[in-house]
């Protein structure tokens, strides 16, 4: 592009400017500068126009771009982009094929290809490809993933949406959240006893949901497993190794209320493995949606499939297994391991256990869950699957 020196000779009563230019060798190309334009560090390429009453600072336009009336910018615009009338921008970057609507204000905003921003909108957010923001929307700390839309007149603080999700117009009501794991206490005894004491999970406060998974083993029978006062039993199961060693499993829950620093679980005898998890966001009326147990003999225990009837349940799979030596487990695919335990008596290991969690978004069958063991030979086990129901979140 040829650069031309421009001199304003005269301003008429009608506001027309008479200009002089030096065409040089490109006499057929004439840049057009509008009336009453003040420009600082502006570079205009071929086929571009500068509108009336425009002020610019450190701005570069690529080919085939236009600047509208009464606009002030501190930004960079790429090819095939247009800036509408009466728009004020701060630190805004637009990529190819993007448009900014009328009377919009933006702060620290980046748009990717094929995105549009509507009329009278204010944003402090990042948009990815193929996303749109509706009219008269205000957002705070908002992130959208590809192919998401935000409806008209929506106020959303600190909201994150996953792919292909939409937020509707002026929505109120309630939704189901998902239980959230916080902390855990995991204990494996090194001596047989009638009672074993474990620490209450760190950070427990009144109202937190506590879930205890307990395994006990002993020659002939460790006896019924009991939780502290105020706990509700979910299920229990018993199995043997085919001879005299007997294993028991039990699960209990409680909403914390004035908890001390320790918890005591008892049985008539034997070793124990105990896992106590602290979970928040749980339905306060019916915290356990469904549960089931299974027994068997295998290298790796398999928790049975359960069928949830509420969305966003937290599935908990757990096992108690006979082992002559200490082993470790790998949780089922997409589950998060919460405890991997061994218990022994007189220096000889006699049981191991695993606990893991995962949120299931939809209702329906969970499928089985295999807890992969490092042991070499099949042995007796008890495996459980428990679904913890989510609390209801109220939308203002």
Cα dihedral across residues 321, 305, 186, 336: positive or negative: positive
* Residue 367: predicted pLDDT: 98
pLDDT greater than 90 at residue 23: no
According to the 3-state scheme, what is the secondary structure of the chain? Answer: CCCCCCEEEEECCCCCEEEECCCCCCCCCCCCECCCCEEEEEECCCCCEECCCCEEEEEEECCCCEECCCCEECEEECCCCEECCCCEEECEECCCCCEECCCCEEECCECCCCCEECCCCEECEECCCCCEECCCCEEECEECCCCCEECCCCEEECCECCCCCEECCCCCEEEECCCEEEEEEEEECCCCCCEEEEECCCCCCCCCEEEEEEEEEEECCCCCCECCCCCEEEEEEEEECCCCEEEEEEEEEEECCCCCCEEEEECCCCEEEEEEEEEECECCCCCEEEEEEEEEEECCCEECCCEECCCCEEEEEEEEECCCCCCCEECCCCCEEEEEEEEEECCEEEEEEEEEEEEECCCEECCCEECEECCCCCEEEEEEEEEECECEEEEC
Whole-angstrom CA distances from 368 to 162, 301, 318, 386 are 27, 10, 12, 12
What is the pTM for the complete model shown? 0.59
Joined tokens for residue 23: 């065409």
Contacts (Cβ under 8 Å, ≥6 apart) of 118: 101, 104, 132, 133, 134, 135, 136, 137
pLDDT digits (tens, 9 = 90+) for 87-117: 444 555 656 556 555 444 445 555 555 565 5
* Residue 255: predicted pLDDT: 98
Q: Domains in the chain and their CATH numbers? A: 7-170 (2.160.10), 180-394 (no CATH)
Beta strands 288-298; 379-388: pairing state: antiparallel
* Residue 227: predicted pLDDT: 97
pLDDT digits (tens, 9 = 90+) for 302-322: 999 999 999 999 999 999 999
**What is the C-alpha separation between 372 and 356, in angstroms, rounded?**
12
- When comparing pLDDT for 53 and 255, which is higher? 255
Cα dihedral across residues 43, 47, 48, 52: positive or negative: positive
**What is the C-alpha separation between 56 and 72, in angstroms, rounded?**
6
Whole-angstrom CA distances from 203 to 109, 172, 275, 391, 393 are 38, 33, 16, 20, 23
* Residue 95: predicted pLDDT: 60
* Residue 84: predicted pLDDT: 46
- When comparing pLDDT for 124 and 193, which is higher? 193
- 212 pLDDT tier (thresholds 50, 70, 90): very high
pLDDT digits (tens, 9 = 90+) for 132-187: 554 444 444 445 455 555 444 444 444 555 555 544 434 456 678 899 999 999 99
- When comparing pLDDT for 291 and 31, which is higher? 291
- 268 pLDDT tier (thresholds 50, 70, 90): very high
pLDDT greater than 80 at residue 211: yes
- 21 pLDDT tier (thresholds 50, 70, 90): very low
Mean pLDDT, rounded, for 249-278? 96
pLDDT digits (tens, 9 = 90+) for 339-379: 999 998 777 778 999 999 999 999 999 999 999 999 999 99
Mean pLDDT, rounded, for 230-237? 96
pLDDT digits (tens, 9 = 90+) for 27-81: 444 444 443 444 455 455 555 655 444 454 555 555 556 555 444 444 455 555 6
């Amino acid at each position: 592009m040829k650069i031309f020196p421009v001199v304003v000779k005269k301003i008429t009563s009608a506001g027309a400017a008479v200009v002089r230019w030096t065409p040089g060798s490109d006499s057929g190309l004439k840049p057009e500068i509008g009336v009453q334009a003040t420009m600082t560090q502006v570079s205009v390429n071929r086929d571009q126009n500068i509108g009336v009453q425009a002020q610019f600072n450190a701005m570069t336009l690529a080919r085939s771009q236009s600047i509208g009336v009464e606009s002030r910018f501190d930004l960079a615009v790429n090819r095939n982009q247009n800036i509408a009338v009466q728009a004020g921008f701060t630190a805004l970057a637009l990529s190819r094929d993007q448009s900014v609507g009328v009377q919009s204000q933006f702060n620290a905003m980046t748009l990717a290809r094929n995105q549009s921003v509507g009329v009278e909108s204010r944003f402090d957010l990042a948009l990815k490809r193929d996303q749109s923001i509706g009219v008269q929307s205000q957002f705070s700390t908002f992130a959208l993933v590809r192919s998401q839309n935000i409806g008209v007149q929506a106020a959303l603080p600190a909201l994150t949406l996953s792919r292909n999700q939409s937020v509707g117009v002026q929505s109120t009501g309630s939704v189901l959240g998902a239980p959230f794991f916080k902390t855990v206490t995991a204990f494996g005894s090194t001596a047989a006893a009638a009672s074993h004491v474990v620490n209450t999970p760190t950070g427990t406060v009144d109202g937190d949901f506590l879930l205890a998974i307990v395994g006990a083993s002993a020659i002939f029978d460790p006896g019924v497993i009991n939780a502290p006062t105020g706990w509700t039993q979910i299920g229990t199961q018993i199995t043997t190794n085919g001879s005299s060693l007997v294993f028991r499993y039990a699960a209990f829950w409680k909403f914390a209320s004035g908890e001390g620093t320790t918890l005591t679980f008892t049985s008539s005898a034997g070793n124990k493995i105990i896992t106590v998890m602290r979970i928040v966001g749980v339905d306060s009326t019916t915290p356990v949606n469904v549960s089931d147990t299974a027994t068997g003999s295998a290298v790796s225990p398999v928790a049975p499939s359960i069928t949830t009837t509420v969305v966003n349940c937290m599935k908990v799979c757990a096992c108690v297994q006979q082992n002559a030596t200490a082993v470790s487990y790998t949780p089922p695919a997409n589950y998060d391991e919460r405890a991997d335990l061994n218990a022994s008596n007189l220096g000889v290991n006699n049981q191991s256990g695993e606990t893991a969690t995962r949120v299931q978004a939809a209702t329906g069958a969970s499928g089985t869950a295999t807890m992969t063991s490092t042991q070499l030979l099949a042995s007796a086990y008890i495996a459980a699957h428990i679904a913890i129901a989510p609390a209801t979140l109220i939308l203002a």
